[in-house]
Amino acid sequence: MTERQQRKLGIWLIAAGGVVLAIGATESQIGQVTDKMPKGWGSVVVILGIFMIIAGLILWSISHAPPIMTWRDYECRKARKRDLPIIHQFAVQEFGDDVSPLDIMRRWHGRNASVFFVVITEKKKAFEETKRVVGYFCAIPLLESAMSKIENGEIKGRDIPNEYVAATRKECAAVYIGGLAGRGIGAKAALLAVMNREFMSADSQWATTIYTRPITKDGRRIAMQKGFMAIDDSHHGELGVVYKLQLDRTATAG
């Protein structure tokens, strides 16, 4: 049951319990009208009403209380090969079917292990520790030969052929930021911090040309905050089109 459902059920029980309590309190008045009701029925109804109100208050309180177990100690690292199925499942849940197939993700990762980053959280309870992936981002280093094809729409980010993926930073002429998704503010903040440090900071060793194609409003908001501009000016601000950012690290460092 979600917090919203708990809250609704709690409010309903409180209201219904109040009605039941009011009915039970009218035992003496109803007894003056009819003697068909069993003796003491009003007390039973009053007790039932009180229990309903108490149950409603408990549910309402639980729905507003912070969780007893909290996810903490965020860790963002490069994804390993075994993380890729989890990342793919995560991407499908967040973005639907407009994501890269798992076999393509595996080929990218085999070409360059810096393509995917994951955010891991650790949940602690008593003597148990459980690690869980709660976010990821994809950043594909591109060869120079891929840039015109990305800008002309000849190839799309979700299925960039391996022949256009740079195997080393030295070969990288541009970076394509693919999916970025995190569950919770903490996970998203960790992802953005690592992405900024790795690809957009003055100390970054990657290329200064960055592409992306946001397919969600949140992705578009982040892209426009970073200064990305649509390749086609007439479509700036739209979803599903390619955006470009040209960094000036000299100015940033100064």
Q: What's the CATH code of the domain at 212?
A: 3.40.630.30
Q: How far apart are CA 21 and CA 148, in angstroms?
A: 74
Name the 3-class secondary structure at 39.
coil
- Say yes or no: 97 and 172 in one domain: yes
- Say yes or no: 226 and 183 in one domain: yes
- Looking at residue 66, its pLDDT comes to 42
The residue out of 64, 86, 117 marking a domain boundary is 64
- Say yes or no: 50 and 161 in one domain: no
- Say yes or no: 88 and 175 in one domain: yes
| Largest separation between any pair of C-alpha atoms in the chain | 94
The residue out of 64, 84, 113 marking a domain boundary is 64
Contact (Cβ atoms closer than 8 angstroms) between residue 176 and residue 211: yes
Q: Which residue type sits at 182? A: G
- Say yes or no: 110 and 33 in one domain: no
- Looking at residue 28, its pLDDT comes to 61
Tens-place pLDDT, residues 7-60? 778 888 889 888 888 887 776 665 555 566 676 667 888 888 889 889 888 877
Q: Name the residue range of residue 120's domain.
A: 71-253
- Say yes or no: 125 and 232 in one domain: yes
Kindly tell me if the per-residue pLDDT of 67 is higher than 80.
no
Which residues pair with residue 147 across a beta bridge?
none
Computed over every residue of the chain, the mean pLDDT equals 82
- Say yes or no: 180 and 218 in one domain: yes
Higher pLDDT, 232 or 248: 232
How many domains does the chain fold into? 2
DSSP 158: G
Q: Which of 129-133, 163-167, 235-239 has the lowest mean pLDDT?
A: 129-133
What Å distances lie between residue 49 and 36, 40, 126, CA to CA?
22, 15, 38
- Say yes or no: 163 and 247 in one domain: yes
- Say yes or no: 107 and 54 in one domain: no
Kindly tell me if the per-residue pLDDT of 101 is higher than 80.
yes
Tokens in use for 198? 């790795």
- Say yes or no: 12 and 109 in one domain: no
DSSP 65: S
Kindly tell me if the per-residue pLDDT of 229 is higher than 50.
yes
- Say yes or no: 35 and 132 in one domain: no
- Residue 220 C-beta-side C-alpha neighbours within 13 Å: 12
- Say yes or no: 95 and 207 in one domain: yes
The residue out of 22, 39, 64 marking a domain boundary is 64
